[in-house]
Amino acid sequence: MEEVDHLAHERSTAQFDVEAMKVVWAGSKHALSVSDRMARLVASDPEFRKDNRVTMGRKELFKNTLRKAGHAWKRINELRLTEEEASKLRFFIDQPAYTDLHWGMFVPAIRGQGTDEQHEKWLPLAYKMQIIGCYAQTELGHGSNVQGLETTATYDRNSDEFIIHSPTLTSSKWWPGGLGKVSTHAIVYARLIVDNEEHGIHGFIVQLRSLEDHSPLPGITIGDIGMKFGNAAYNTMDNGVLQFDHVRIPRDQMLMRVLQVTREGKVVQSDVPRQLIYGTMVFVRQTIVIDASNALSRAVTIAVRYSAVRRQFGSKNGGPESQVIDYKTQQSRLFPLLASAYAFRFVGEWLKWLYQDVTQRLQANDFSTLAEAHACTAGLKSVTTSVAADGIEECRKLCGGHGYLCNSGLPELFASYVPACTYEGDNVVLLLQVARFLVKTVSQLGSGKKPVGVTAYMGHVEHLMQCKCGVQKAEDWLKPEVILEVFEARATRLAVVCARQIGSAANPEDGFAELSADLLEMAIAHCQLIVVSKFIEKLQQDIPGEGVKRQLQVLCNIYCLHLLHQHLGDFLSTSCITPEQGLLANEQLRSLYSQVRPNAVALVDAFNYTDHYLGSTLGRYDGNVYPALYQEAWKEPLNDSVVPDGYYEYVRPLIKQQFRFSRL
Amino acid sequence: MEEVDHLAHERSTAQFDVEAMKVVWAGSKHALSVSDRMARLVASDPEFRKDNRVTMGRKELFKNTLRKAGHAWKRINELRLTEEEASKLRFFIDQPAYTDLHWGMFVPAIRGQGTDEQHEKWLPLAYKMQIIGCYAQTELGHGSNVQGLETTATYDRNSDEFIIHSPTLTSSKWWPGGLGKVSTHAIVYARLIVDNEEHGIHGFIVQLRSLEDHSPLPGITIGDIGMKFGNAAYNTMDNGVLQFDHVRIPRDQMLMRVLQVTREGKVVQSDVPRQLIYGTMVFVRQTIVIDASNALSRAVTIAVRYSAVRRQFGSKNGGPESQVIDYKTQQSRLFPLLASAYAFRFVGEWLKWLYQDVTQRLQANDFSTLAEAHACTAGLKSVTTSVAADGIEECRKLCGGHGYLCNSGLPELFASYVPACTYEGDNVVLLLQVARFLVKTVSQLGSGKKPVGVTAYMGHVEHLMQCKCGVQKAEDWLKPEVILEVFEARATRLAVVCARQIGSAANPEDGFAELSADLLEMAIAHCQLIVVSKFIEKLQQDIPGEGVKRQLQVLCNIYCLHLLHQHLGDFLSTSCITPEQGLLANEQLRSLYSQVRPNAVALVDAFNYTDHYLGSTLGRYDGNVYPALYQEAWKEPLNDSVVPDGYYEYVRPLIKQQFRFSRL
């Protein structure tokens, strides 16, 4: 294929230092360097080829995963990669695999919930992958409600063992990644029963398969749960089903950092605070927010580049048609997603800090910020993953018909990303947790209890209930203090209205249930405010690189004003702004789109994605889209033969009239 | 599997005659009878099994399509099915196939654009499937903008032939269904050139493949364009690429009903009005609106039934957990989609009438309503397909994690439905056409030109610009005249504001382009009003069956008030309602959800879908979900062997430490 940069003109119009923006996006020069090296390493290694995945049958696809995971482990060791590098390597391989759960859930669960002795015994084996583990929590009949899990772990004092058992069909473990075909071990969550008494849900290390021949151990029924959304996507992963028929494990394989069962069958709470588990959730959800920015930025890269390449309508005097990216309809759908990708990046970065802060406090037995931090990360997990999933699909539509081809990269990206809305806490369930926390916060305002962390703004409830937005002309909407105040006022007023309505219900729990749809909107308002405020805070820092801060300011304003437009009903119904101010915001938004336009391609270049990682004919760095689409078509297996298999049996008889005809 | 109706209790709470509602949904007793017979015919014929599609490789999947299409044709003839029955049969086979384009595009194009002689020659061949045709319009570089097509058809007077040619890579025909591997003929759209003069885009009947051995004819390069979104979905279809190298066809294979090229090379307009083509578009888009109600109702059936089966949280004293459908958060997402399915059904039915009306007028040379009817169907195609596509994905999410499994039926339904947002007019492009029509309509109001059809309400512009909503208590929102007025006022006010802003721009075209994002919202407001008003009109008719009308009234109110809540910003910013009235609408909405709740399962039963058609473990009629999920899992090919292929090469070496280890 010719080597011409079809997007060179787009790149020449950028008004900022793209290399400096790459550092901002990556988080630091070091992070950029690691990420860049690992991306190139993967892209240049033919073992990590992925363009052929979508035509593979399930077995071939799964074997492909095993091969890649093995090769990755080989390279990680050969090159003596650090943990950070290894993690980035797996990220760029871009194929869900059992190793994600081994490193992302199994190892952290032992670290977080295991005792020192358990760490010593199990972690070295896991670090060397001498055992491969997964995380077996959800069951066929139980997802969100962990307390409803049915699997039992009954202590048998005679043998000093736990008996792990699946008492019902619905208690079958269901969904855990890596479980179906690969894991040798699992952390199994089960109801602890000692002397016929229940002691809640706890984790147990259970060996599933022989380390010699991989056959399931006695009493264990195990398999893959079948095909999932998308061609390749998560079908590279062996999500599994698992049933226990009175499987015995030694007592010391219960994870006992928080709760212990002694040899005598006494159940003892340790002095380690139970709240530690929330710290882990803050950690996991923080990584999910960063993932949302990764996935969304990837889709936006494809859509922005192809929108700059693609031309449609608007030809004047036989000249070329207009670039699609010049249409306001395209801009008004695409640029807010570009802005959201950056916004989620920065709030994700801030969540890293929050996790460190919470961890340090927990170590000092300070639980004062934990509930708030937990609500904050739960809410941000929810809003960022929902926007990212919808945003990927929107980007696909923004690419027109060709976005429907797998080689656009977008269908697979959507199918493999969208579970993020459900796993690690269903997004609606999480928002209700946030809502519960906010209602409680509001109800305590009168008592003098000061709201902490990102709910601190509610301390100014009196001001926020009555403040009036001072915007008089479109440019007034560019002032961060104006934006912050209206977003704070909106969140506060929605929360106060909801809290009042719940308060006036005969029973607060019934009131909460009845109003829960409105409570979701209140929780979203709060979460959006967090993203807005962290974006604004980011811009108050020193950001090196010519024009970089200026571009981020434009994106921040787009992010905020787009939200304002999208949720105009909230802002107007709570009288945070007037209809005229809403129109001015819209006017300003249009002007901001024009400011982003010449920088759009450079702003996605700053994500620094390789063509291998994007895996998209439409999102190619050089914009040479049409020859790429054309060449890809001929790789389709159906094109191996001119006359398709089945023609002689099923088509020719029609054409040749080998049926007796009737009425038609 | 045990034969117990797990949803029997849900069915017993219904407050209406389900059989009567089935008639309403189907449109008539006759339509219900045809639909019911065809659905059972397909479901009972093992040749039409479809649960095994998602694990097939592309070639196997495509052969499966050829087999089914052949078998369908055999059955259609054996059973002497009518055209209506045959069409329903294909519908319930539920597998995109080349026959869809043959019957849905190729035959209608010849009927609509061909002369009487062409009808006589080609239609009998097509009716008997002695030739198989497709519709080759879009090109690699040209989708929405038909006038930009590059393929040329040059008249050669010497041989009395047209020379069909693809002058560039981007002029390759791209996407047509049935083209890739099956069609023997195509209607090819190309720029007509006679004596170096261009005469616009016209259709030509071109033979592509030999009727003897199916090999492509000389000068024709043809193939499949590759994998698309989803596992099976549209991968059962051979969307194709096609290039012409100076392919010659007889002059009489240009479709000449509207424009003729004579033997001498004279280009002659016939006396048939060009506007006929808009009549065809009204027809095609009308069927798409009905399809939207089909697809959405199917997803809603699955989500409603599974929400009634699934329990999560809320266990009291160790009793069962709460049914998910009892949560207001679930109701507020699910019931508006249920209401939308019904709403789209009725507006689709009305569009059938509109098409007949337009056709009769065209035959009488009355073009007065054509532009309005065209805008109306374009807009309804756009809003219904967008809501249906998003609604299917929302239903998938409402099923929690299990919705991500292919056997839930939802991933495949989404992937095969979502192209409807792009084909037959991209939804955004269509809304801009509507917007253009509305702006024109508003600008002519002063001139005394009376708006017709569904824009008639704009004739009351003076009243609608200043009327005040009289709602004082929640129940006031149940009055159809109240609803109609606020929806009319909102649409009118948005249109007037937009028209004013465009009017004040230096150049109206630039103003239109600059404001196009707002114009989309204005167009949506108009289209939603159409759906609302047709639902209300339906309820003014006599509807037999105990309790049937009552249920439809509740659904209509939910549809309207949900839209009002979703677009609250519109209604408030145009002062159509006050914030207090918005709160009352929300209150009424919650009460309506409670009224639907006991009828929800029966309301989806009324769609009369067989388990075969639904193809969903979660949406089974009997609600026996968990055993079904469990049994499906063991059909997964990966479960053929306990130890997966690749274990010995790629997993065991890891566990057995056959690498040299390093830093990690």
Question: In this structure, what CATH number is given to the domain that contains residue A543?
Answer: 1.20.140.10
What's the count of helices (H) and strands (E) in chain B, helices before strands? 24, 11
A residues 425-444 closer than 8 Å to B (CB): 426-428, 432
CB-CB under 8 Å, B228 with A636: no
Distance from CA of A490 to the nearest CA of B (A): 14
| The two three-digit tokens of residue A96, written as one number | 């869900």
Judge if A258 and A282 occupy the same domain: no
Whole-number Å distance between alpha carbons of B372 and A507:
53
Whether A607 has a pLDDT exceeding 80, the answer reads: yes
Below-70 pLDDT ranges, chain B = 1-2, 658-664
What SS3 class is residue B213? coil
The domain total for chain A is 2
**Is residue B47 one of the residues assigned to a domain?**
no
**Cβ-based neighbours of B350, under 8 Å, separated by 6 or more:** B534, B537, B538
CB-CB under 8 Å, A406 with B143: no
What's the count of helices (H) and strands (E) in chain A, helices before strands? 24, 11
| The two three-digit tokens of residue B272, written as one number | 């048939």
Whether A659 has a pLDDT exceeding 80, the answer reads: no
pLDDT, average across residues A312-318? 78
Judge if A263 and A295 occupy the same domain: no
C-beta neighbour count of B449 within 10 angstroms: 12
pLDDT, average across residues A227-240? 96
Q: Is the Cβ of A404 closer than 8 Å to some Cβ of chain B?
A: yes
Whole-number Å distance between alpha carbons of B382 and B365:
28
Strand-strand pairing, B133-136 and B185-194: parallel
Chain B contact set for A404 (CB, 8 A): 228-229, 234, 418-419, 422
pLDDT band at A660 (very low <50, low <70, confident <90, very high): low
Judge if A156 and A303 occupy the same domain: no
Whole-number Å distance between alpha carbons of A237 and B322:
32
Provide the residue type at B267 as one letter.
V
The last residue of a domain, from among B237, B272, B307: B272
**Is residue A48 one of the residues assigned to a domain?**
no
Provide the residue type at B170 as one letter.
T
Q: Which residues pair with B202 in a beta bridge?
A: B190
Active site residue A587: no
Question: Position of tokens 């620094």?
Answer: A608
**Is residue A79 one of the residues assigned to a domain?**
no
pLDDT at A661: 47
Whole-number Å distance between alpha carbons of B508 and B572:
27
**Is residue B417 one of the residues assigned to a domain?**
yes
Judge if B563 and B445 occupy the same domain: yes
Judge if A230 and A368 occupy the same domain: no
The residue of chain A nearest to residue B413, with distances taken between CA atoms, is A229
Whole-number Å distance between alpha carbons of B345 and B162:
44
**Is residue B234 one of the residues assigned to a domain?**
yes
Judge if A345 and A386 occupy the same domain: yes
Chain A contact set for B653 (CB, 8 A): 70
Q: Among residues A139, A372, A393, A424, which one is catalytic?
A: A424
**Start-to-end C-alpha separation, chain A:** 50
Question: Position of tokens 């390449």?
Answer: A309
CB-CB under 8 Å, B66 with A646: yes
CB-CB under 8 Å, B66 with A650: yes
C-beta neighbour count of A113 within 10 angstroms: 22
pLDDT at A284: 87
Judge if A341 and A218 occupy the same domain: no
Whole-number Å distance between alpha carbons of A114 and A203:
9
pLDDT, average across residues A404-413? 98
CB-CB under 8 Å, B654 with A132: yes
B residues 276-315 closer than 8 Å to A (CB): 311-313, 315
Residues B98/B182, Cβ–Cβ less than 8 Å: yes
Query: Shortest CA distance to B202 belongs to which of B265, B277, B266, B142?
Result: B277
Supply the angle between the helices A18-26 and A29-43 in degrees, to the nearest 10: 90
Judge if A282 and A372 occupy the same domain: yes
Whole-number Å distance between alpha carbons of B468 and A220:
69
Q: What CATH number does residue B145 fall under?
A: 2.40.110.10
| The two three-digit tokens of residue B192, written as one number | 């007509």
Identify the sign of the CA torsion B98, B103, B109, B114. positive
Question: Position of tokens 């970089």?
Answer: A548
Whole-number Å distance between alpha carbons of A265 and A281:
30
**pLDDT tens-digit readout, B69-79:** 999 999 999 99
Judge if B265 and B283 occupy the same domain: no
pLDDT at A446: 84
- What is the residue range of A313's domain? 278-454+468-605
Residues A232/A54, Cβ–Cβ less than 8 Å: yes
The last residue of a domain, from among A567, A589, A605: A605
pLDDT band at A1 (very low <50, low <70, confident <90, very high): low
Size of interface A-B (CB pairs under 8 A): 407
Instruction: Tell me what the pLDDT averaged over chain A comes to.
Output: 95
B contact test, residue of A51, A144, A181, A561 with most B CBs within 10 A? A181
CB-CB under 8 Å, B138 with A226: no
pLDDT at A663: 42
**Is residue A545 one of the residues assigned to a domain?**
yes
The residue of chain A nearest to residue B412, with distances taken between CA atoms, is A229
Distance from CA of A621 to the nearest CA of B (A): 19
Chain A contact set for B128 (CB, 8 A): 657, 661
Q: Is the Cβ of A80 closer than 8 Å to some Cβ of chain B?
A: yes
**Cβ-based neighbours of A183, under 8 Å, separated by 6 or more:** A98, A101, A102, A106, A132, A133, A134, A208, A209, A240
CB-CB under 8 Å, B329 with A70: no
Q: Is the Cβ of A644 closer than 8 Å to some Cβ of chain B?
A: yes
Give the nearest partner residue to A664 out of B86, B170, B423, using CB atoms: B86
Residues B616/A32, Cβ–Cβ less than 8 Å: no
Provide the residue type at A439 as one letter.
V
CB-CB under 8 Å, B223 with A633: yes
CB-CB under 8 Å, A638 with B238: yes
Judge if B196 and B158 occupy the same domain: yes
**pLDDT tens-digit readout, A450-478:** 899 999 999 999 999 999 999 999 999 99
Distance from CA of A365 to the nearest CA of B (A): 31
Whole-number Å distance between alpha carbons of A489 and A567:
13
A residues 523-552 closer than 8 Å to B (CB): none
Q: Among residues B424, B462, B485, B509, which one is catalytic?
A: B424
Judge if B382 and B522 occupy the same domain: yes
Asked whether the ipTM of the predicted complex exceeds the cut of 0.95, the reply is: yes
The residue of chain B nearest to residue A568, with distances taken between CA atoms, is B569
Give the nearest partner residue to A401 out of B55, B328, B422, using CB atoms: B422
CB-CB under 8 Å, A59 with B426: no
Query: Cβ-count burial of B211 within 10 angstroms (0-12 exposed, 13-18 middle, 19+ buried)?
Result: middle
Task: Please report which helix (H) or strand (E) contains residue A202, including its range.
Answer: strand A197-207
pLDDT, average across residues A286-296? 96
Q: Provide φ and ψ at B294, rounded to 5°.
A: -65, -50
**Cβ-based neighbours of A526, under 8 Å, separated by 6 or more:** A379, A434, A438, A455, A491, A495
**Is residue A107 one of the residues assigned to a domain?**
no
Q: Which residues pair with A268 in a beta bridge?
A: A260
Query: Shortest CA distance to B251 belongs to which of B241, B264, B239, B240?
Result: B264
CB-CB under 8 Å, B228 with A411: yes
The last residue of a domain, from among A590, A605, A620: A605
**Is residue A482 one of the residues assigned to a domain?**
yes
Judge if A573 and A598 occupy the same domain: yes
Distance from CA of A456 to the nearest CA of B (A): 27
Q: Which residues pair with B250 in a beta bridge?
A: B161
Q: Is the Cβ of A140 closer than 8 Å to some Cβ of chain B?
A: yes
